[in-house]
Amino acid sequence: MGTTREDIHSELQAIFRQVFDHDKLVISEATTATDVDGWDSMAHVNLIIAIEKGFGVRFSGADLASMRGSGRTIGHLIGLIAAKTGRA
């Protein structure tokens, strides 16, 4: 595993493609849930589980709450992963 936001983004890209079963899905730090077809509440649960497994982290209730709401981006998620893994 790498050590930068770009490395986290690359790993996250692979997880998104797997969870959403879309080999050409492209995410950016500005991507939100409304930008991804099929990103509903069930997909969100599957995504969180896949991210926790893929990065070896556990999100707290506060982390999960911080992901909710309009305007939350992949960049925010990358920041959470970086903080939890010490890869900022």
pLDDT at 3: 58
pLDDT in tens, the chain (88 residues): 445 899 999 999 999 999 999 999 999 999 999 999 999 999 999 999 999 999 999 999 999 888 887 678 999 999 999 999 987 6
Q: Are 84 and 1 a contacting pair, CB within 8 Å? A: no
User: In this structure, what are the phi and psi dihedrals at residue 58, rounded to the nearest 5 degrees?
Assistant: -130, 130
**22 Cβ partners below 8 Å, 6+ apart?**
16, 37
| Number of domains forming the structure of the chain | 1
Task: Tell me which residue range forms the domain holding 11.
Answer: 5-85
Q: CATH number of the domain at 41, please.
A: 1.10.1200.10
